[in-house]
Amino acid sequence: MPFIKIKVNCRISPEQEIELKTRMGKAIELVPGKSEEYLLLEFEDEARLWLRGRNARPMAYIEAAIFGNESHAGYPAFTAELSRIYQDVLGIAPEDCFIKYDDITAWAVGGQYIDREMFR
């Protein structure tokens, strides 16, 4: 299950949020075995982000937590696509789009505990 938290220092309109959600749902397929079916997204707009002592330019901080992909397969293509999406939709230059990856080793849903060791 991928969980992606997005913070941007600009406003996201409802239409932009739908476009971001839709395009990210497609982009997650670049990571083997992942799809929009299990993708959880959180958007935070108008965050007070500062870079190089300034906050005048649009920027994004994205945390992508992904379960069961210790080899990070697909991350380079996914990274490039996320950068394209945020540039196209919100005008955020790729050099102002920062993506942090976290490996999820265990999680739970529906009262069920799931550990990556269960899939080896």
Q: What is the pLDDT of residues 46-105, one digit of tens each?
A: 999 998 899 999 999 999 999 988 899 999 999 999 999 999 999 999 999 999 999 998
Distance CA 87, CA 82 (A): 9
Q: Please state which of the four CATH numbers 3.30.429.10, 3.40.190.10, 3.60.20.10, 3.40.430.10 is assigned to the domain occupying 3-119.
A: 3.30.429.10
Is the pLDDT score of 44 beyond 90?
Answer: yes
pTM: 0.91
When pLDDT is cut at 50, 70 and 90, the band that residue 119 belongs to is low
Q: Which residues, 6+ apart, have CB-to-CB distance to 42 below 8 Å?
A: 3, 4, 5, 6
Q: Is the pLDDT of residue 16 over 70?
A: yes
Domain ranges across the chain: 3-119
